[in-house]
Structure 1
Amino acid sequence: MTKQKYFSLILILGSLSALGPFTIDMYLPGFPAIAKDLQTTPARVALSLSSYFIGISAGQLLYGPLLDRFGRKKPLYVGLALYIISSIACASIHSIDALIALRFFQAVGSCAAAVACMAMVRDLFPVTDTAKVFALLLLVVGLSPMLAPTVGGYVTAGFGWQGVFVTLALLGVALLLACLLWLPESYQPNPNLSLKPRPILTNFWRVLREPSFYTYTLTGALSFCGLFVYVADSPLVFMDIFGVDSKVYGWIFAFLSIGLIGASQVNSVLLRRFRSEQLVFGALCCQVAASVVFLLLTVNGLIGLYGTIALLFVFLCCLGFSSPNTAALSLAPFSQNAGSASSLMGAIRMGIGAMASAAVSVFNNHTAVPMVAIMMVTSVVALLILLVGRRYVAHTPATAEAAVAEPVH
């Protein structure tokens, strides 16, 4: 594979994986404007974020078998078309209930991009390189929280919150054209794969029974769920509690994303000396320590705006190490049904994230305590699952697959 082809693949796959996060982050500064326009509260607007997470979780289970049955690109095209239509519809609604419903369908469309991206990484690159590739993708994805809230704040100020959804529709069109023109098909359709419920569920069960999959998928999902909680509650924490405006909020969000991006790239360097399993364990230990300190300071009212930003920065740095490694370790055992495995991994991650983001809205008490408490609890549970589950992982998946997995050019 030439360097130019490698770069173009990373750019397109990274953009596909960033579509969902960009769709989430870009409309966050518009929460107050949406609430005012639709005569509701920011907490109710946050339910449209929870419905988006639910849509991603459910949609990923749908796309996995389709990607294995029809190849990667056809289901991707259908999903992007649904995303474009739903984005346009979101710009024309007049009630919060309609926004909540349409965000679900927008998510179902966008998650085709996420699942296809994960599966194509497993198709196109050797298993020993997947952690590095996921880290590179995270670099592209990391531009989303840097750019999306800032862009969203200015678009909302200039064109209203409806302009955000029009912009997202145009982004979907651009991605669809890029996939049509430059993205190769990485997997031959398998006409023998049944789309009946029983074989699909049997295949999912086969994936779930793999110790490496359930250990690292659950660990990654619970550790990463702190990001969902932060995204869901950050408009309340920064704009309502600390009183910053939408533009300043966008810059804070962009700054915090540097932790996630920077750590993911340091992770690529550390992989030359350490195994993914070691990096996941170290990152989780740091994440638990940071979240415990964060909760103690928040409960006792000993932390202000800058302290909150600092501890969130540390927390996101930990995710930059754990996320690409747990993803790579989860998918490493699978070559024939990577689509199903990646969709199941994504569904579990998004499902847990959706429940956590809904919980932070339910327990909202106009303080940062619910957000920080959920971040701490999920981090501790993730570490416990890793400590117990890795006893059942008989060998390093990457080592087992390296001899048989070859990249598809």
Structure 2
Amino acid sequence: MTTTAPTAAAPSRLRLALILGALIALGPLTIDTYLPALPDVGQDLAASGTAVQLTLTGTLVGLALGQLVIGPLSDAFGRRRLLMAGAGVHVLASVLVAIAPTIEVLTALRVLQGVGASAGAVVGLAIVRDLFTGRAAATMLSRLILVMGAAPVLAPTLGGILLAWTSWRGVFVVLALYGLAVLAVVTKGLPETLPPERRRSPRIGATVRTYGMILRDRTFVGLVLVAGLSMAAMFSYVSGASYVYQEQFGMDPQTFGFAFGAGAIWMILGTQLNPIALRRFEPRQVMSAGLTVSVLAGLTLAVLTTTGTGGLPAVFAGVWTMLLATGFVMPNAPALALARHGATAGTAAALLGSLQFGIGALTSPVVGLLGNDAAALGLSMFGAVALAGLSLVLIVRPWTLPDINDTPGDGDPARA
């Protein structure tokens, strides 16, 4: 690997990881921090539970659609401008949410808030592709997946702490302050990574053609499916764990919090062991091995839960093994996908993020449809990773992929 000391304008890898981590955390914090306050929102705005839950859906819609727009715009106008604009939109929307008079206004503003938060995710991935490729990109993404795994778990806890001394409106004031902090960090600490000579046309026709070109890349689409379906397994766990642990196995809320957090720790452990594995193996090899383990663990979990064998220890063993293995899949699949489209990294990251997020969100209700018990959890998680495995074998065909050298990204040859 060729390395050089970063220049004054170029943050070190650690500093870059911290900045990008703060950006990417904006989405999960926006989604999850106010979850403990949902009943309070309904009471304060005289809204039904379904109406309040739609405010979550609005945020998810904003996150998905925002990436599709912001990614191509970052290819045309640069990364910093879009990050600063996204953070500014998020701050404005958060302040307006804090004073929203009705549930309808709140839902609309949550869509806008999601659009603002989406800039951190999509532009963060594009910046990684600007600066790194191969093992270096997968290693950086491993650090960022740590944030993506920890933030959704910690955000509700943070929300509960905030509610001890403020109302649900105060939670959004805190989110606005976090957005301001992100804006300040980007302004002072993050240089532009996409030089003018590498920028793309901002015209809609050109953007549509670029999307079409990327979607015709069979391997890219296959890698998106692998990443999205692996995330779907994780979403199945998130959406079903409370019902399985509390209603089926009788855990109290405090014990459930520890059990749920333990699952996140296993996934985080996998993401942090991933860079060690990449010192000896190619990203495609690590991804394939991780997905194989996940499929086998999912099959075992499905068999044990549907037959009622092993009880809670069987659920823990199967779920935690799958989450650990997912930690080896999630950084490498996006890194391999983005490596194929360095010249359109923002647009490619937008497709990757939106499709990956959309696949996970669409499949997360499956646990509820199957019954919200351990068998439903096991079957849904196994089904997701089994489809991911089929996508890997039939579409990606990793044995046909070339080895990836640890080379610099297109944006700065001095920083690999």
> What is the TM-score of this pair, normalised by structure 2?
0.85
Structure-2 change in CA distance of 1:368 and 1:292 (3 Å): same
Residues 17-57 of structure 1: CA distance to partner in whole angstroms, max 9, x if unpaired?
A: 22212333333344455456566676765444343333222
Structure-2 change in CA distance of 1:241 and 1:23 (3 Å): farther
Aligned partner letter, 2:75:
D
Residues 78-116 of structure 1: CA distance to partner in whole angstroms, max 9, x if unpaired?
A: 111121222233334465554443332222111101111
Is residue 69 from structure 1 mapped to residue 69 from structure 2 by the alignment?
no
Q: Where do residues 2-401 of structure 1 align in structure 2 (5 Å cutoff)?
A: 2=5, 5-34=12-41, 45-93=52-100, 96-189=103-196, 193-238=200-245, 248-300=255-307, 307-358=314-365, 363=369, 365=371, 367=373, 369-391=375-397, 394-396=400-402, 398-399=404-405
Greater CA drift, 225-234 or 90-99: 90-99
Residue-pair matches, total: 407
Whether the 8 Å CA contact 1:220–1:323 is kept in 2: the answer is yes
Residues 360-389 of structure 1: CA distance to partner in whole angstroms, max 9, x if unpaired?
A: 56x374545555433222211110010012
Aligned partner letter, 2:379:
A
In 2, Cα distance between equivalents of 1:174 and 1:247? 31
In 1, Cα distance between equivalents of 2:219 and 2:286? 16
> What do you get for the CA RMSD once the two structures are aligned?
3.1
In 2, Cα distance between equivalents of 1:44 and 1:288? 37
Structure-2 change in CA distance of 1:294 and 1:160 (3 Å): farther
Aligned partner letter, 1:151:
L
In 1, Cα distance between equivalents of 2:398 and 2:269? 32
Whether the 8 Å CA contact 1:150–1:254 is kept in 2: the answer is no
Whether the 8 Å CA contact 1:146–1:255 is kept in 2: the answer is no
Cα deviation for residue 353 of structure 1 reads 1.8
Cα deviation for residue 301 of structure 1 reads 5.0
SS in structure 2 opposite 1:336?
Answer: helix
Greater CA drift, 297-306 or 139-148: 297-306
Aligned partner letter, 2:237:
Y
> What is the TM-score of this pair, normalised by structure 1?
0.87
SS in structure 1 opposite 2:12?
Answer: helix
Greater CA drift, 320-329 or 333-342: 333-342
- Uncovered stretches (5+) of structure 2, i.e. residues with no partner: none
Structure-2 change in CA distance of 1:150 and 1:258 (3 Å): same
Residues 113-132 of structure 1: CA distance to partner in whole angstroms, max 9, x if unpaired?
A: 11111111111234441111
- Uncovered stretches (5+) of structure 1, i.e. residues with no partner: none
In 2, Cα distance between equivalents of 1:297 and 1:101? 44
SS in structure 1 opposite 2:226?
Answer: helix
In 1, Cα distance between equivalents of 2:97 and 2:366? 24
In 1, Cα distance between equivalents of 2:121 and 2:247? 32
Whether the 8 Å CA contact 1:150–1:247 is kept in 2: the answer is no
Whether the 8 Å CA contact 2:392–2:398 is kept in 1: the answer is no
Residues 129-153 of structure 1: CA distance to partner in whole angstroms, max 9, x if unpaired?
A: 1111111222343431453232222
In 2, Cα distance between equivalents of 1:47 and 1:309? 31
Aligned partner letter, 1:231:
V
Cα deviation for residue 354 of structure 1 reads 2.3
Structure-2 change in CA distance of 1:306 and 1:99 (3 Å): farther
Greater CA drift, 248-257 or 383-392: 248-257
In 2, Cα distance between equivalents of 1:43 and 1:375? 26
SS in structure 2 opposite 1:259?
Answer: helix
Aligned partner letter, 2:380:
I
Aligned partner letter, 1:77:
M
Q: Percent identity?
A: 35
SS in structure 1 opposite 2:281?
Answer: coil
In 2, Cα distance between equivalents of 1:93 and 1:360? 33
